[in-house]
Chain A
Amino acid sequence: MFITATFEYSEYLELAISELEQHGIIRERIVAIPLDKKVEKRKILDTIHRADGVSQIDGAMVLGAVFMELGVVYGYFWKLGPVLWGLIGLGAGALAGFILDYYVGKLLATGKQARTLKKERREERLRKWC
């Protein structure tokens, strides 16, 4: 009998395998095969289970810092003051950077999808038979 299951990479996977071994299934009868996906849909933020390697935060934080700095500088001379203009600058800069990154990244991704998506989501496939 073969039993197969797929897992995300996590410590639960190792717990599951070691549990099988605790039940007397020998290591030689357990096969773990990493699954590599070649192309994956881009996500805005990387999460605990997947990272596509295309950072969407570089541009947002770079422009966020620039505009926050400018907001603080000019806010000093303007009515709302440096704190609020700094925060407005951060929001506006981060949004502009994100939009720029997103659309430029999208253009690159459609052009050379395979190359741009370097790190694909991988899953573990666990096979057990007894």
Chain B
Amino acid sequence: MEDATVESKQPVSVRNLRRPKGHISSVATNMLHLKNPWVTAWWSAAFPGFGHIILGSYVKGFLLVVWELLINVKAKLNLCILYSFGGQYELARQVVDTRWLLLYAPVYVFAIWDAYRRTVDLNKKSVLADREDSIVLPSKINTIEINTLDKKHPWLAMVWSAIIPGVGHLYTHRVPTSFFVLIWWISVSYLSNILPAIHLSFTGQFAMATSVVDMQWLLFLPSMYTFAIYDSYVNCVEYNKLAEVEQARFLKDNYQSPDALMPV
């Protein structure tokens, strides 16, 4: 009984701080929303770190992405995968660099497991924040950026990401993701020679296209490309939902006076 009175004395501001729904900074809106843990685990399997970036856990996510790029390239793991799938097992054995290879597996498995675990954990906090009806202030303006919670078109986020990964996130104002995706996309496109290969493929010079690409780098691109489309779309939808919840709360708090006359 005494516990209950102590709890009721906790002001709403403190309760909201305990169970925040999100945080709006000038460069990004980071928020909790329900996600399927298998989906974040899957993105971590596709590219370690992506699951964490989906969750808004940027520092861990970028650490894992840089780790993936470094160890995979040094161990020549993508080439090993390529030759293994192509049935050239001897070549697969020769190409891999055993000075790096064993570093790969533990962190890879950790990234998948941690993305799953963290999603389950954050889902609980998301439900609690919803039940607490935590306040999110919908604007943040500072010296260098402006971020306002407003509604955007999810299909536009997808299309921009499909045209050039990273730009869809600029549209939804998730600047950290955009910044890193643009950097990876430009670097890996350049290093994989995909752009000349696209010119050659679309002019029918298929053998040339195959010979010009660097498969070690090219195999990074499919997951980066689909991730950018997926993540910008999901963020856009979730930001829209948050904007609606925030506005509904504002209206309830300010435009439901008990003194108002209601039509019978």
Structural contact, A127 and B86, CB atoms closer than 8 A: no
Assuming A9-B247, A65-B223, A122-B244, is B198 touching A73 (CB within 8 A)?
no
Q: Chain A interface: which of B59-67, B96-104, B109-117, B152-160?
A: B152-160
Is the Cβ of B215 less than 8 Å from the Cβ of A76? Answer: yes
C-beta contact mask, B81-113 vs A, less than 8 Å → 1, else 0? 110011000000000000000000000000000
Q: How many A-B residue pairs have CB under 8 A?
A: 149
In the assembled complex, 16 residue pairs joining A and B whose CB atoms fall closer than 8 Å, in A order, are A9-B244, A27-B257, A30-B255, A31-B256, A31-B257, A55-B234, A57-B234, A58-B230, A65-B222, A69-B219, A73-B81, A80-B201, A81-B206, A86-B221, A122-B248, A127-B263
Q: Among the interface residues B85, B194, B222, B234, which one has the most CB atoms of the partner chain A within 10 A?
A: B222
Residues of chain A lying within 8 A (CB to CB) of residue B219: 69, 72-73
Mark each residue of chain B from 48 to 74: 1 if its CB lies under 8 Å from any CB of chain A, else 0: 000000000000000000000000000
**What 9 additional pairs, Cβ within 8 angstroms, besides A61-B229, A76-B210?**
A9-B244, A27-B257, A29-B260, A32-B251, A51-B240, A57-B230, A62-B42, A68-B226, A72-B218
Closest CB-CB distance, A125 to chain B, in whole Å?
10
- Bound state CA distance, A81 and B205, in angstroms? 9
Chain B residues touching A, majority SS: helix
Which residue of chain B is the closest to A26 with respect to CB atoms?
A: B257
Looking at B155, B209, B234, B244, the one whose CB has the most chain A CB atoms below 10 A away is B244
